Amino acid sequence: MRIETTPTGGPAFGEGFFPRGCSSLCRACDHRSLSREESEAQKRGWLASKLAPWADRLAPLEGATEAESLGYRDRVRLHVRRIDGRWRFGMLRGDELLPLEDCPVHSSRVRRSLALLSRILPDDPLLPLAFYAQSGAQATLIVKSRTRPDLTWTKGLDEGGVESGLEGLWLHLHPSAGRRLFANREWILLWGQRRSQDSGGLVYGPCAFQQLLPRLYERSLDEAEAFLAPCMGDGVVDLYCGNGASLARWLRRGAAVVGVELSGEAMENAAVNGPGASLLRGCCAERIPQLDSFLSPHARSRRLAYVNPPRTGLEPEVARWLPRAGFRRIAYLSCSAGTLRRDMTFLEEAGYDVLRLRPYDFFPRTRHVECLALLSSRDDRP
């Protein structure tokens, strides 16, 4: 396969050519030929179309800086193949691998880690290494086997691991890895430490989902916090709470807080990142009875919700429960305009007003855009 990359460096956006290391065959950055202004305008226009009933409440997009538009992807999931006697990491195009070790959107830590592993992984064409996942300083080699392979090669990590920026490297034995890369069993720490801390001091592990632009993510939390304005005596329900980055904010303001998350690893980290919060593991819909018990001491006027669901949006049971529970205000961070429209339509019919929509460009150079929706119960009147 011929891999086309530019021979010289280029701009962050547009201007007719790609930055160094960017393959013209890669389909990930579908806005790379647009200027930053053109990309942001297209994203805001897309949201105005998809969220047309509330277009008058759509605020300006909070965008990434020029510097943030490259080298920001510190969380990757890549296919792995052995090609011409060398381990390569990238995306599949049909049955062929497009190597992306030098992708300029990857963080320098990801690029250094891939270079290290390409150099020290064993020269074994039978090693069933299929996927590579990296979340910040924690990385995972995913092997489609139940049998632990030879691990003598890991001695090379003692020399290059720290320089790469890695703090923990894992081997995950997962014979059925595919659309789902992670299972619960057979995790082996090959080198380093089990957990790391991000730039804000929050603990995370190898499976962590992290927003890629911390500055913009903090801005979104700032806006949600200013809107919810939790205080002593309030009860805050934080659904799909992940590692607990948002939990700590509500706790600092004196509110009682409960978080719900499906991932066991995320729950462990949330207990460290949000000490004092009640935590419930499982699907949010299955935890409604416990959430009702948590809310029972709090008057309906003191109930607040922060939700950050996956692309599928709110579970139907959760969407029906939110109005029934009587939350005064809801802050909803969405990564899918389609499911956000569906859920806001339902909530509006159930007695909520959509007050403001704030887009955030968490994924520059791509078509993806996130949106924070701020909703208030019609009973919440001065």
Q: What is d(CA 326, CA 296) in angstroms, rounded to the nearest whole number?
A: 11
Q: Which residues, in sequence order, are bridge partners of residue 329?
A: 304, 376
* pLDDT tens, residue by residue, 33-69: 898 999 999 999 999 999 999 999 999 999 999 899 9
> Which one, of 73, 65, 159, lies nearest residue 108 by Cα?
73
> Which one, of 281, 289, 266, 343, lies nearest residue 311 by Cα?
343
308 is in an annotated binding site: yes
Q: Do the beta carbons of residue 13 and residue 365 sit within 8 Å?
A: yes
**Predicted TM-score of the model (pTM):** 0.92
pLDDT score at 145: 94
Distance of CA 192 to the CA centre of its chain: 23
* pLDDT tens, residue by residue, 11-35: 444 554 578 888 888 888 989 889 8
243 is in an annotated binding site: no
Neighbouring residues of 289: CB distance < 8 A, sequence distance ≥ 6: none
Q: What is d(CA 148, CA 226) in angstroms, rounded to the nearest whole number?
A: 50
Exposed / middle / buried, residue 342 (Cβ in 10 Å: 0-12, 13-18, 19+): middle
* pLDDT tens, residue by residue, 74-89: 999 999 999 999 999 9
pLDDT-based confidence at residue 381 (cuts at 50, 70, 90): low
Q: What is d(CA 331, CA 356) in angstroms, rounded to the nearest whole number?
A: 10
| Residue in 26, 241, 335, 371 annotated catalytic | 335
Q: Six-digit token pair at 357?
A: 């929509």
Sorted by where each starts, the structural domains of the chain and their CATH numbers stand as 75-204 (2.40.50.1070), 214-377 (3.40.50.150)
Is 231 catalytic? The answer is no
